[in-house]
């Protein structure tokens, strides 16, 4: 059994707990939290909730620590720190800062002889893998990534900060005609506006100026100004009933050509349709925890990304079973 | 530069030649044929066409030999034989015989210290990879593979063997309603008939009994009897004009659940839409030739499948570039 520790018990940590339950070859050793452990109720019978301060006491009881913190301030500190004592996995998703994060984790992991697997999830993660495979197979071509339909936490937060807004939920939606053009192999050049629309469900405070709120949303730089944005005012009850889920997903498409004169077109499309963004991310983290355990058992160490992991390491099945069942 | 040899110059060999041309880090050393080399005209300036009998003379001039033979009789002999002298890649696709082929190639490759990469292409190959990734991430779920719309060579050949048929082309087509049900997460149980239809374009010989031909096609066991089959009689000219391409493709979909009580649904879909089946297969072979070269240079040997290859080995770019551009 692979002994798993979870650091951080929000939506992502809870998702990892559920994914570990589905894995016959894994067991949850403990959940670590920065909150008062007595205030945190987990789902798994028999697994303790411990203070993050005590985590090093579990050094010999945990094979892989799955770090479920945020990319802004938690992971840049936690991942290099804990890879000194554990094999670790994170979902670091600040694209521009990945090279620096990789360097920090790699240095610490090589010193400790552990594996630090970073930027695991669906984007970065499964989407990145599909970009790499598709580029390797079709070197002459063009990449497209569409996100949605799904809830953007960052955009929802931005709306909530507007004066007079009580609550809000924002959906990112691919533009169907653009998606079709890409699938047809037209290889279009698409502007930001042509790729996605944004749909906002807003609960206004009583007496708030709705026209002003709508204008502020639609003109907000970076977040909304470059998009066709729709704003719906609804009640808190409607928001709670119809928009409480955290769905997401999207498309990675490569349109490429082969042939002596590039005369043949090919489309490679990868699509995710996810009911729960954090639970899916957690499921990817958990599969890569298996890989980290096995790769470290074979003597590998250092910082790794999904690009460095042979797919066979992710599965419970042996190589022989995989070849028989899935090849 | 990675020095590539091609063994066998049919549609697949020609496709590899085109793919090598697109790869800045590869050069074509020679094409080997069992035909009279003087009768074979290739596209690449300066690369010789040689007799397959002379191939061992090129042992030190070729880094990876891409074997472009057929799975029925060529590859079971050629791959274990040539891996004694070269790193080799093949597209062995007789699913039931993969374990035996793997064992034969593995034994020879371990003795020679070379890599023999087998069953590379899109199915087996890219489709297999997507089955493995999706199963690793969503262990609770159901797999679906749909093929088409595309030309099935085996089914076209079966029609051509019917008395009174001059020529034929058969398309395999996924049933749209079944595809939609899978995408919606309904996780349906689908019979053979519910997954695919078969459409046949047939050129009859003059005076042939069309009703008898249509009946023989539709009732042919294994090939057509279990499917809803449509037969169109057309002229040879129409066949040549409208059905001379070799398109193919398909869908690998996994429908799975996460959550403490499996309460959330997720759909992972991988789709290929290919103008040229052999050229796309050849492009996959060529990317894996790069991986075989690099993995062997790092000291690895033995038989490998796509499951054993970390994605980073497939790309020309360095790990640093991949993390920056594609993660």
pLDDT tens string B87-129: 999 999 998 999 999 999 999 999 999 999 999 999 999 999 9
pLDDT of residue B135: 98
Token pair 């797999």: residue: B143
Q: Which helix (H) or strand (E) holds A272?
A: strand A264-274
pLDDT of residue A288: 98
pLDDT tens, residue by residue, A169-203: 999 999 999 999 999 999 999 999 999 999 999 99
Inter-chain CB pairs, A–B, below 8 Å: 210
Question: What number is the average pLDDT over the span A69-98?
Answer: 96
Distance between CA atoms of residues A68 and A207, nearest Å: 40
pLDDT tens, residue by residue, A158-171: 999 999 999 999 99
Q: How confident is the model at residue A278 (pLDDT cuts 50, 70, 90)?
A: very high
All residues of chain A having their beta carbon less than 8 Å from the beta carbon of residue B299 are none
CB contact under 8 A, A140 and B22: yes
Question: What number is the average pLDDT over the span B164-173?
Answer: 97
CB contact under 8 A, B279 and A269: no
Q: How confident is the model at residue B48 (pLDDT cuts 50, 70, 90)?
A: very high
CB contact under 8 A, B271 and A273: no
Question: In a 3-state reduction of DSSP, which class is residue A92?
Answer: coil
All residues of chain B having their beta carbon less than 8 Å from the beta carbon of residue A318 are none
Nearest to B53 by CA among B32, B68, B67, B79: B32
Question: What number is the average pLDDT over the span B10-18?
Answer: 97
pLDDT of residue B123: 95
Distance between CA atoms of residues A123 and A251, nearest Å: 11
Q: How far is B173 from chain A (nearest CA, A)?
A: 17
Locate the chain A residue with the closest alpha carbon to B127: A327
Locate the chain B residue with the closest alpha carbon to A16: B259
| pTM assigned to the model | 0.96
For the question of an ipTM over 0.85, the answer is yes
pLDDT of residue A34: 96
Q: How confident is the model at residue A68 (pLDDT cuts 50, 70, 90)?
A: very high
Question: What number is the average pLDDT over the span A35-54?
Answer: 96
Q: How far is B159 from chain A (nearest CA, A)?
A: 27
Q: For A237, phi and psi rounded to 5 degrees?
A: -65, -45
Q: Average pLDDT of chain A?
A: 97
Q: How confident is the model at residue B215 (pLDDT cuts 50, 70, 90)?
A: very high
CB contact under 8 A, B140 and A22: yes
**CA angle (B55, B61, B63) in 5-degree steps:** 95
CB contact under 8 A, B133 and A267: no
pLDDT of residue A194: 97
pLDDT of residue A317: 95
Question: What number is the average pLDDT over the span A307-320?
Answer: 97
């Amino acid at each position: 059994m692979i002994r798993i520790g979870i650091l951080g018990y929000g939506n992502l940590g809870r998702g990892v707990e559920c994914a570990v339950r589905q894995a016959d070859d894994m067991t949850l050793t403990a959940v670590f939290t920065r909150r008062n452990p007595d205030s945190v109720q987990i789902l798994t019978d028999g697994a303790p909730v411990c203070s993050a301060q005590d985590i090093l006491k579990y050094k010999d009881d945990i094979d892989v620590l799955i770090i479920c913190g945020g990319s802004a301030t938690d992971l840049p500190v936690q991942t290099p720190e804990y890879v000194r004592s554990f094999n670790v996995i994170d979902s670091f998703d600040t694209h521009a800062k990945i090279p620096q994060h990789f360097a920090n984790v790699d240095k610490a992991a090589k010193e400790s002889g552990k594996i630090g697997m970073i930027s695991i999830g669906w984007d970065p993660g499964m989407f990145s893998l599909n970009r790499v495979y598709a580029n390797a197979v079709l070197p002459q071509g063009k990449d497209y990534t569409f996100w949605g339909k799904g809830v953007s936490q960052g955009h929802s937060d931005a709306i909530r900060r507007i004066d007079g807004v009580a609550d809000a939920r924002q959906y990112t939606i691919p533009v169907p005609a653009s998606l079709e053009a890409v699938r047809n192999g037209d290889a279009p050049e698409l502007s930001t506006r042509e790729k996605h629309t944004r749909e906002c469900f807003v609960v206004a405070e009583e007496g708030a100026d709705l026209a002003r709120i709508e204008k502020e949303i639609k003109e907000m730089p970076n977040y909304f100004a470059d998009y066709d944005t729709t704003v719906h005012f609804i009640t808190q009850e409607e928001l709670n009933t119809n928009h409480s889920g955290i769905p997401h997903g999207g498309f990675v498409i490569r349109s490429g050509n082969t042939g002596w004169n590039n005369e043949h077109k090919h489309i490679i499309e990868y699509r995710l349709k996810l009911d729960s963004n954090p639970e899916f991310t957690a499921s990817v983290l958990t599969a890569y925890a298996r890989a980290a355990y096995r790769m470290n058992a074979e003597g590998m160490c250092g910082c790794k990304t999904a690009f460095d992991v042979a797919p066979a390491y992710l599965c419970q099945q042996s190589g022989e079973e995989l070849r028989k069942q899935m090849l």
